[in-house]
Amino acid sequence: MSKLNRRDFLKWSALITAASVAGFDFALPESLQAVEVDNWVKSVCRYCGAGCGLYIGVKGGKVVAVKGDDKNWNKGFLCVKGSYLPKILDAPDRSKYPMVKEKGKWKRISWDEAMQLMISKFAEAIKKYGPHSVGFYGSGQSYSEESYLANKLFKGAIGTNNIDGNPRLCMASAAVGYVTSFGKDEPMGCYDDINYADCFFIIGSNMSEAHPVIFRLIMEQKRKRNVKIIVVDPRKTVTARNADLYLDFIPGTDLYILNAMAHVIIKEKLYNPDFVNKHCVFKRTNPDGKIEKVTFEDYLKFIEEYTPEMAEQKSGCPKEKIIQAARWFATSKATMSFWCMGINQRTRGVWANNLIHNLHLLTGQICRPGATPFSLTGQPNACGGIRDVGLLAHLLPYGRLVANEKHREEMERFWGVPKGRIHPTPGPTAVELFRKFEAGEIKCIWIVCTNPGQSLPNVDRYRKGMAREDTFLVVSEAYHPSRTSELADLVLPAALWCEKEGTYGQSERRYQYLPQVIKPLGEAKSDFEVILTFARGLLTALGREEEAKKLFPYKNSEEVWDEIRACSKDTVYNFWGMTRARLIKEHGLLWPFPSEDYPAPGTLRRYTAKYGDPLLKKFDPQAEDISFYGNPADGNKAVTWLRPAVGPAEPADKDYPFILTTGRLIEHWHTGTMTMKVPELMRAAPHAFVEINPKDAEKLGIKTGDKVKITSRRGSIVLPAKVVDIPRPGVVFVPFHYPESLINSLVTDAFDALSKQPEYKISAVKLEKA
Amino acid sequence: MLYLGVIIEVEGEEAEKALSALPFLSLYARKENQLLGVIELKSLSEWQEIEEKLQSIPGFLGLSILSSYVT
Amino acid sequence: MFFSFTYLRPPGAVKEAEFIKKCIRCGKCQQICPYNSIKLISWQNPFYFGLPYIEPRKKPCYLCMKCPPLCPSGALDRNLKDKYKVRMGIAIINKNTCWAYQGSFCRACFMNCPIFDKALKLTDELLPIVIEKYCVGCGVCEYVCPVEPSAIIIKTY
């Protein structure tokens, strides 16, 4: 509606409103509705891990519109956030100039000054205290090229593993889940499996709000075919309301439910002995931490105690529902699982992931169209840019591990750095990294494209650490102040989304190219350019000029992409064929993608030759069809884990009788730095609230709109109540988007021993009417 | 300026023709004997006059104001 | 012959023709309203001057039910306490402008409806629909709709 002036707009508003009251079927004429653009450029949505394809409409050097890409997987659909994307670009709080904090006041400086300051601080720390005195905290929203460069700089050039990314907070358990069960990370299936599945098992995911466009695909199948939807969630979300079978339970007891489902599947002989024989091994972790291979009989003994009765007693979920879910899961023609933060953000996140994989392995509901365990991602490039690139403290690019000597040598050779440069011990993970910063062990940290000052659990503690005067915090952000940049010593203005070019890789292994469409605002620069400048400058300041030239010779981001492709070539990720040109042409490509002439959209299903995995025969020449070739140590078989059910770190008790769980709303995304700049979205979801079940509210005398004080062992917050039949009794829910209501200051920072992912989803709290 | 989204009830074709000639009224659609339109006013003081003009049209049965937008 | 302007009245208001006669324009409902949702018609409109009304797009009724018992004249039903029994108006969705019907996922109206999952429902296609039997006409949906002008509006009775 850009053509309308304000006068016309009000006139049309009066008309349209009157028309709908009176029941006239009347819309704005096409000619007025159509947006005038100079050209439409193919790109990808900036927000969640669904990775919807879209076109950006540009007019006179400005982004004026977006529309869904109907040739991409999302079939032209976008959610309401995505539809308002153009408005995030010129928000008044975009950071336009480098700013330094001097005596508590912000001062604008030039880029040269900023880079000099930053380089001298980092170089000084490294000279004085060694390479482990500096750190980097990256993001699943950076482009792959940017994350790859940062990883190469810190692990390959500086020689420290003090580099982790925010996917540690959202994806780590899923990644370790895939690795422990199948040998290598990332799902084997894809969104296309939705078209073939007869049963959807959705656990710990409110897809309809957090991944609305994927949920639409499921609902489309529900309308067309007789499919069953099972939802397991302590909140009766829109997702749950669309389920054929809804299992609610006390948060943290879902491991009982998953094991009980396996129990039913075994007892009722619904498992697939042939598949189990051919493709599974069984393992357990002994109390001393040692991993032991066991037999199927051991598994049967282990699962014996997890009767539906026992699960009902522990979880509060009726046993009939557990039995029904198990039967549907096992007997449907193809079952597809989805899970997200409800499973991952847990102290037993990896175990819960393993237990979901167990169900697929026992029943053979895997490696066929529609039968697959599929983990949903939160960020647009958490898979492609962090898990795959290896920007995590324990990882090296493309499935290689820091702790593995052979892998370290491979990368040292590939990068051309001396043997022994990559430090053999995995570095501190997100929470640990900020604990080290808080303790003063790390002197300088660089945070890029993320907002830990709002998003870390028990956030007040780490905010204090970030605010320390004797350390140096650099934040590259597109918006300033954010809850992180306000604590920084130096803020670098970052180009945002279509102001820079790069690659995103979403949940289903689909890599997509995002072109630069407009110029960055003010003096903002792409993080790519800044990391490159910093890398060269730092190495030079450390007297390693030759290395600076050798390791960071790139002229543009495409050259880095070519190096990345080469880096993936001999791994199970192999996307050598995904040249920039190919990515620009196609609507997203799924790896493996071994050659330039490989047909689009690439490999939909992995670990199965029959359904087109091009690498299967290379890694497992003897395989007939299915092979979990990421796990050669176990003869290319998948692992069914004997994982006992263990509760959360902080269950509800007498003093803190409610369980606080946090999550998302459809209108906002993460810490809201982008979506909260869109007035239309703020109108729909203006502030934080606490959802309370009507039964609890009645007991406490709380009505919708009343102020409620929520207190945990770490802090308290006052929020308006929303009394609604969504959370089950005993559970309260608060969205974590709002910067003025830091609910994360209440959340526990206990984390999973295997994935180091914190347990955001379960914290004990008490409620009082404020 | 004040914009009022209105429904005008009329009898016969002549009334519509006469209404469409009024400078302060734009008509956009018709459903049976209901006309959908927008009235533009500079201020409320004009209303008296507008009311009189509308009532003087043969076949004019009534007017409902369904929305209002003010600049 | 009729001229009418369809004001949205506070919860519990009797039929419009009767309301105009019964309301003594004391402003008590406006004073008690904790959200400042209720406004009084200004002197510029002499005929309706002092009558209470709600403009949902600016501030809807949050159904706190504080105003009906205060009404001295019975223009608002003093015995009305149950928010589910309020009938101020009815929501109407403009399918030509609603984001959901345009193929974009939005359910701001559904999620914010105080008569949750009753007055507004989502269809299989995840489109919001109004269930007239339950809709109280509070206007929260009209208020939160991200479309400009709102794609869901309250029609008064």
Dihedral pair phi/psi, residue A763, rounded to 5° = -135, 140
Task: Return all residues near A626 (Cβ < 8 A) that are at least 6 apart.
Answer: A278, A279, A367, A607, A608, A609, A610
Residue C7: band (very low, low, confident or very high) from pLDDT cuts 50, 70, 90: confident
* Interface ipTM: 0.91
State the Cα–Cα distance between residues A42 and C57, nearest whole angstrom. 36
Q: Which domain holds residue C140?
A: 84-156
Q: Are A270 and A303 in contact (CB under 8 A)?
A: no
The predicted pLDDT at position A1 comes to 40
**Chain A residues with CB-CB distance to C153 below 8 A:** 17, 20-21
Q: How many domains does chain B have?
A: 1
**Chain C residues with CB-CB distance to A703 below 8 A:** 64
Query: What stretches in chain A show pLDDT beneath 50?
Result: 1-2
Q: Are A729 and A234 in contact (CB under 8 A)?
A: no
State the Cα–Cα distance between residues A15 and C62, nearest whole angstrom. 27
The predicted pLDDT at position B48 comes to 80
Neighbouring chains of B at 3+ CB pairs within 8 Å? A, C
> Structure tokens of A631?
């796990």
- Domains of chain A by residue range: 6-88, 99-168+387-501+518-553, 172-376, 658-769
Q: How many domains does chain C have?
A: 1
Task: Determine whether A221 is an active site residue.
Answer: no
The predicted pLDDT at position A4 comes to 59
Neighbouring chains of A at 3+ CB pairs within 8 Å? B, C
Where do we find the tokens 């109004």? Answer: C130
Q: What is the CATH number of the domain that holds B28?
A: 3.30.70.920
Q: Are A195 and A221 in contact (CB under 8 A)?
A: yes
Most distant pair of Cα atoms in chain C: their distance? 49
Contacts 24+ apart (CB under 8 A), A591-594: A591/A509, A591/A511
Catalytic residue among A171, A336, A466, A567: A171
Q: Do A208 and C147 touch (CB under 8 A)?
A: no
State the Cα–Cα distance between residues C96 and C152, nearest whole angstrom. 11
What is the nearest CA distance from B68 to chain C, expressed in angstroms? 10
Nearest-CB residue to A10 (from B36, B66, B69): B69
| Three-class SS of A363-427 | HCCCCECCEEEEECCCCCCHHHHHHCCCCCCCEECCCEECCCHHHHHHHHHHHCCCCCCCCCCCC
Kindly report, residue by residue over A594-616, the tens digit of the pLDDT: 999 999 999 999 999 999 999 99
CATH H-level superfamily of A6-88: ADC-like domains (2.20.25.90)
What is the nearest CA distance from B66 to chain C, expressed in angstroms? 6
Q: End-to-end CA distance of chain A: give it in Å, rounded.
A: 45
Task: Tell me the β-bridge partners of A105.
Answer: A102
The region that residue C143 occupies, defined by phi over 0 for left and psi between -120 and 50 for alpha, beta otherwise, is alpha
Which of B7, B64, B69, B70 to probe by mutation at the C interface, max C CB count within 10 Å? B64
Q: Do C126 and A215 touch (CB under 8 A)?
A: yes
Instruction: Name the closest residue on chain B to residue C2, using Cα atoms.
Output: B62
The predicted pLDDT at position A643 comes to 97
Per-residue pLDDT at B58 exceeds 50 = yes
Nearest-CB residue to A21 (from B38, B40, B67): B67
> Structure tokens of A151?
């990883």
Burial string for A537-566 (b: 16+ CB within 10 Å, else e) reads bbbbbbeeeebbeebbebeebbebbebbbe
The predicted pLDDT at position A479 comes to 96
Q: Are B61 and B9 in contact (CB under 8 A)?
A: yes
User: Which of A678, A706, A681 is closest to A692 using CA atoms?
Assistant: A706
Q: How many CA atoms lie less than 13 Å away from A212 in the CB half-sphere?
A: 25
Rounded to two decimals, the pTM is 0.92
% of chain C residues with pLDDT over 70: 94
Please tell me the class of the A99-168+387-501+518-553 domain: alpha beta
State the Cα–Cα distance between residues A502 and A513, nearest whole angstrom. 6
Task: Determine whether A81 is an active site residue.
Answer: yes
Per-residue pLDDT at C4 exceeds 60 = no
Cα C93 to Cα A261, A766, C111, C115, C143, distances in angstroms: 43, 40, 15, 16, 13
Q: What is the CATH number of the domain that holds C148?
A: 3.30.70.20
State the Cα–Cα distance between residues A359 and A332, nearest whole angstrom. 13
Task: Return all residues near B42 (Cβ < 8 A) that are at least 6 apart.
Answer: B1, B2
Kindly report, residue by residue over C11-33, the tens digit of the pLDDT: 999 998 889 888 888 899 999 99
Per-residue pLDDT at C5 exceeds 90 = no
> Structure tokens of A346?
């847990």
Q: Which domain holds residue B60?
A: 2-70
State the Cα–Cα distance between residues B64 and A190, nearest whole angstrom. 55
Nearest-CB residue to B68 (from A14, A16, A19): A14
Q: Are A57 and A79 in contact (CB under 8 A)?
A: no
Q: Do A238 and C110 touch (CB under 8 A)?
A: yes
State the Cα–Cα distance between residues C39 and C55, nearest whole angstrom. 8
In a domain, C97, yes or no: yes
Scan residues 51-80 of A and list those with Cβ closer than 8 Å to C.
Answer: 68, 76-80
The total of other beta-carbon atoms located within 10 Å of residue A109's CB is: 17
The predicted pLDDT at position A699 comes to 96
Cα A162 to Cα A151, A340, A753, distances in angstroms: 10, 27, 18
Q: State the CATH architecture for A658-769.
A: Beta Barrel (2.40)
In a domain, C78, yes or no: no
Looking at domain A172-376, which of 3.40.228.10, 3.90.550.10, 3.40.50.300, 3.40.30.10 is its CATH number?
3.40.228.10
What is the nearest CA distance from A491 to chain B, expressed in angstroms? 41
The predicted pLDDT at position B67 comes to 79
